[in-house]
């Protein structure tokens, strides 16, 4: 009879070595790719490129509105924090207040401009169709101007005798072409309203989740460029804020002062001209494009006193940006003035209105990264310095 010690149960099959061998046989060839596979690299690049193009194609209708929202939120973020502190720390109330302010700042002026154009278009067209409205004055006061007054008066009288109506007859056919062009541009109104609505929606979302979005952007920048990537993101935000302070605030100040001058001098359609002046200042064209025709109109109608007052006031308004803009830009970011202005003008010409912010950001980040890269090695000694020490004469 067999004892318990002699009874041996069969051992269960060991599956670990089998699974290990199976894993090595079937998966090792995928987990260890070859060192260099040109076809694999090319197909990977093609797939990644297709995915990037597809993503860009999908989000393309939202890019412009989102870009404007980013610029607006970055520029006005300190204001949001102050409102949140005043509203018992409630972010939702602060976001609501900021959204209402954005509506007042962007939507109301555009609505006023459009309504003014619509209300006054019929009057302007009827005025332009009547030739008798262009009865020019004699401008006898030109003779009082020293040195050139008599010559200007004689030239003006010669122009009147030659018949200003002929000049008007040549210009009048272009009124129809201008109206046709304006009607063609009206097709873009729907797209503009869509971008404006998207800007307001994205701005509200970024106001509400601004810290999380900023953290993700900085994390991505650090993943790309370590400390330099993070510094580039911070510099971009400072540049946007500097442009917002220097360009936008200066445009507001100039347009308000210019509008006050137009209103006091009795110029018609003051609201429409003030909004147009703000757009010209924002585009770095200056307020004189609106103020100079108003001055000419005052002298044309014989109101020489208010014409002279508006001329002096226009000189002040047109040059005040040389004082305000540098001071505000230096408050926003410690960057060269020429760099910021070049970025503003070049970005405007290259990308349109959004280029007001894109241009300075690109130049500022490139400027800082270039100098950070150059500072990695010591500067060379002054090669232009002349060695004044006398060398000993070999012949002696």
- Asked if the model's pLDDT at residue 379 lies above 70, the reply is yes
* Residue the block writes with tokens 């040059």: 319
Confidence of residue 15 (pLDDT cuts 50, 70, 90): very low
Length of the chain equals 396
- Looking at the chain, the whole-number percentage of residues with pLDDT higher than 70 is 68
Copy the structure tokens of residue 63: 């890019």
Lowest mean pLDDT among 20-29, 97-106, 219-228, 257-266: 20-29
- Asked if the model's pLDDT at residue 4 lies above 70, the reply is no
* HSE (side-chain half, CA atoms, 13 Å) at 48: 6
Contact between 225 and 91 (Cβ < 8 Å): no
Give pLDDT tens digits for 55-113: 999 999 898 889 889 988 988 899 999 999 999 989 999 999 999 998 887 777 777 76
Confidence of residue 19 (pLDDT cuts 50, 70, 90): very low
| Cα–Cα dist 152/132, whole Å | 24
Please give the pLDDT value at position 54.
94
Copy the structure tokens of residue 44: 């990977």
- Asked if the model's pLDDT at residue 34 lies above 60, the reply is no
Q: Is 9 left (phi over 0), alpha (psi -120 to 50) or beta?
A: beta
């Amino acid at each position: 009879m067999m004892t318990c010690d002699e009874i041996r149960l069969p051992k269960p099959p060991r599956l670990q070595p089998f699974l290990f061998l199976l894993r090595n046989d079937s998966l090792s060839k995928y987990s260890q790719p070859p060192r260099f596979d040109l076809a694999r690299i090319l197909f990977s690049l093609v797939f990644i490129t297709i995915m990037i193009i597809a993503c860009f194609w999908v989000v393309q209708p939202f890019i412009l509105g989102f870009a404007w929202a980013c610029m607006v939120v970055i520029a006005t973020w300190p204001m949001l924090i102050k409102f949140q502190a005043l509203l018992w720390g409630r972010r939702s109330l602060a976001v609501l207040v900021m959204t209402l302010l954005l509506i007042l700042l962007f939507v109301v002026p555009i609505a006023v401009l459009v309504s003014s154009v619509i209300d006054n278009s019929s009057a302007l067209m009827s005025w332009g169709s009547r030739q008798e409205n262009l009865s020019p004055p004699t401008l006898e006061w030109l003779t009082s101007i020293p040195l050139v007054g008599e010559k200007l008066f004689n030239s003006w009288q010669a122009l009147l005798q030659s018949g200003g109506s002929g000049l008007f007859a040549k210009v009048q056919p272009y009124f129809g072409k201008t109206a046709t062009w304006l009607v063609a541009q009206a097709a873009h109104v729907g797209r503009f309203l869509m971008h404006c609505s998207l800007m307001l929606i994205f701005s509200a979302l970024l106001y509400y989740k601004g810290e999380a979005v900023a953290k993700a952007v900085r994390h991505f920048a650090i993943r790309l460029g370590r400390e330099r990537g993070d510094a580039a993101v911070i510099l971009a935000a400072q540049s946007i804020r500097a442009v917002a302070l220097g360009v936008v605030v200066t445009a507001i100040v100039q347009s308000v002062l210019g509008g006050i001058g137009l209103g006091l001098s009795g110029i018609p359609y003051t609201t429409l001209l003030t909004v147009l002046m703000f757009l010209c200042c924002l585009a770095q064209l200056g307020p004189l494009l609106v103020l100079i025709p108003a001055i000419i109109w005052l002298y044309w109608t014989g109101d020489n006193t208010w014409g002279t007052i508006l001329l002096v006031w226009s000189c002040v308004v047109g040059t005040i940006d040389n004082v305000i803009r540098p001071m505000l830009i230096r408050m926003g970011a410690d960057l060269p003035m020429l760099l910021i202005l070049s970025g503003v003008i070049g970005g405007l010409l290259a990308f349109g209105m959004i280029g007001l912010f894109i241009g300075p950001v690109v130049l500022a980040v490139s400027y800082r990264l270039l100098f950070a890269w150059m500072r990695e090695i010591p500067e060379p000694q002054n090669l232009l310095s002349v060695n004044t020490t006398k060398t000993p004469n070999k012949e002696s």
